[in-house]
Amino acid sequence: MQKKAPKIDPSLVADFPLFNDMKKEDIGDILEKGVAKHYKKGDRFFDQFDEATHFFLMLDGYLEVSKTTEEGSQVIMRHFGVGELFGVAPAIAQKNYPATSRALVDCVAILWENKFWDLFLVEHPQFIKNAYSAIGQRLAQSQERIVEMSTEQVERRVAHAVMRLTHQCGVKTESGILIDFPVSRQDIAEMTGTTLHTVSRLFSAWSTKGLMQVGRQKIEVLEAHKLALLAQGH
């Protein structure tokens, strides 16, 4: 399921925002303390309620973080891609992971044991600062999403979700922007608090308008500008 990867070269990660304003040697020191692992598509990095023992940095691939309610509904909280820190429970004094994280494609990630957070706090404060900056952005995004859920109706929310996916996980093609991993209608529903049926209907409509091109677990946005207008409520 997981095997060690060769040592990571600092220059491969130096341009991640997480390592902003840091010297190569500091980056190297941090990388040395972690362990790189491969994860196959579908593997879980950690499960909701697991004791939080590590924090992670994605080197290659995409993952989704989701929460499951007592009644069994799943809500996809967000996606992470290359260069992003995740599973940062130790950074905010949470004993357990609040959600499950799952590899959407084959991935490579570095994991550090919790104790290194406190060490880096002393030895590499810039790293910690960069990390908290990212965490702050996530808090802000969470709150934006609460506003969205409170005030916008389904079509706008779905448009927003697709836009976010294109920004975070999109690759340019000749015709538009393609989401780089399989996304089902159900997934989109779980990102927006609606049903797969409603998503399917919206996608059909947008598809006939030429706004996007959809397939089985495939989304390609053709006219991002028009989608943005929808997200803004036009």
What are the residues binding a copy of itself (CB under 8 A)?
Answer: 67, 69, 71, 73, 75, 77, 89, 91-94, 98-99, 121, 125, 129, 132-133, 135-140, 142-143, 145-147, 149-151, 190, 192-193, 233
Q: Which of 53, 168, 198, 213 binds DNA (CB under 7 A)?
A: 198
DSSP 147: H
Which of residues 203, 211, 212, 230 is near DNA by CB under 7 A? 203
> Does 69 sit near DNA (CB under 7 A)?
no
- Of 137 and 217, nearer to a copy of itself (C-beta) is 137
Question: Residue 16 binds which one of a copy of itself, DNA, none, with CB within 5 to 8 A depending on kind?
Answer: none
Is 153 strand, coil or helix?
Answer: coil
Q: Is 74 in the site for DNA (CB under 7 A)?
A: no
Query: Closest approach of Cβ 181 to DNA, in Å?
Result: 12
CB of 108 to DNA, least distance (A): 22
Q: Which does 67 bind (CB under 5 to 8 A by kind): DNA, a copy of itself, none?
A: a copy of itself
Measured CA distances, 64 to 9, 107, 121 (Å) = 26, 12, 27
**Between 11 and 132, CB nearer to a copy of itself:** 132
Closest CA to 59 of 106, 110, 103: 110
* DSSP 8-class letter at 51: B
Rounded to the nearest whole angstrom, what is the least distance from the CB of residue 16 to DNA in the complex? Answer: 32
Q: Does 178 bind DNA (CB under 7 A)?
A: no
- Between the CA atoms of 116, 118, 123 and 124, what dihedral angle is there, to the nearest 10 degrees? 80
**Identified binder of DNA from the candidate list 53, 126, 168, 186, rule CB under 7 A:** 186
Q: What CA–CA distance (Å, rounded) separates 27 from 23?
A: 6
* The entry of a copy of itself, DNA, none that residue 210 binds, CB within 5 to 8 Å by partner kind: none
Burial class (CB within 10 angstroms; exposed 0-12, middle 13-18, buried 19+) of 149: exposed
Helices and strands (H and E) in the chain: how many: 8, 12
| 193 binds DNA, rule: CB under 7 A | yes
Spatial neighbors of 4 by CB under 8 A, at least 6 apart, are: 35, 36, 37
Nearest-approach distance from CB 95 to DNA, in angstroms: 33
Strand (E) positions, the chain? 35-39, 44-46, 54-60, 63-68, 74-80, 85-86, 100-103, 107-113, 170-172, 177-179, 212-215, 218-221
Where does this chain bind DNA (CB under 7 A)? Answer: 153-155, 184-186, 193-198, 200-201, 203-204, 207, 214-217
